[in-house]
Amino acid sequence: MFIVFNFFALIQAVILAVFLGCFFEFEADDYLHAHGFTKGQVNFLFMYLLFVILSATEYLGIKGRLFWLPSWFLAFAVLLLISFGGTVVPEWPKWIVGITVLASGYGVLAMLDYKFRNGFHKRHGVLLAIAGTVPDSHPEAQKLFWKQMRKSFVQPSKFYNYSYNLYKLLNPKTVAIDVFDAHNLKLVNAMQPVVIEPNAKMKLEHSKTMLEYRIKNAEHGNHTDTIQANIKDVLRTYV
């Protein structure tokens, strides 16, 4: 069986290895036991710290993925099993532990959405400043244009793409999908006059057609990943 992971997961593994080394080097588990914590409680606290570290690194941009799932979410799922199983930490009421874990998971999701919203508004500002302008043929002007286009590109999470309605329910202040589609359409329109490579032209035209249909018919749930992939591929061609 193959274990599928990305490069960021390796970085997270190194960070966790350093944490583990410090944890056991300074005998933190023995210290907790000496102050009345049971083995189950220590194991839970240890797992919770791993969850916090993975969540923090995700927020900082070290987005580790294991079997295409965020590593922080996998740690969260393990914590839920521990919490509601009630056998690992029998000394604490499982409903209190469970609510604490659920609140922590929601807190991470809200924190990541806050970062996404801020990033979107900054990138949308960059796009508004350059949209409608066509650079001349000078290499430096072209380079600056595509650099700004790259800064304008926004990549939401898979959760946002595939389960927007649930994501919106959990994060009511998030960027609305119609606003996100309008941003992508403006980005595509800005790139089209400059793109000369045939395959890139085709991808932009395909994305534009899908975006216009989604906006006109208020059907925003389909092909989000395809549109994002097309735009990213064009940017890779020129940046």
- Break the chain into its structural domains and give their ranges: 7-92, 114-238
Confirm if 124 and 183 have CB atoms less than 8 A apart.
yes
Task: Please give the mean pLDDT across all residues of the chain.
Answer: 86
Give the pLDDT band of residue 47 (cuts 50, 70, 90).
Answer: confident
DSSP states of 101-147 as a string?
HHHHHHHHHHHHHHHHHHHHHHHHHHHHHHTT----S-HHHHHHHHH
pTM score: 0.83
Q: pLDDT at position 94, please?
A: 76
Beta bridge partners of 65: 70
Residue of 148, 129, 145, 124 whose CA lies nearest to 193: 145
Q: pLDDT at position 172, please?
A: 92
Q: pLDDT at position 184, please?
A: 94
Q: pLDDT at position 124, please?
A: 95
Q: What average pLDDT does the segment 230-236 reach? A: 92
pLDDT at 139 over 60: yes
Q: pLDDT at position 44, please?
A: 83
Residue of 39, 22, 77, 40 whose CA lies nearest to 55: 77
More confident residue, 218 or 171: 171
Q: What average pLDDT does the segment 140-165 reach? A: 88
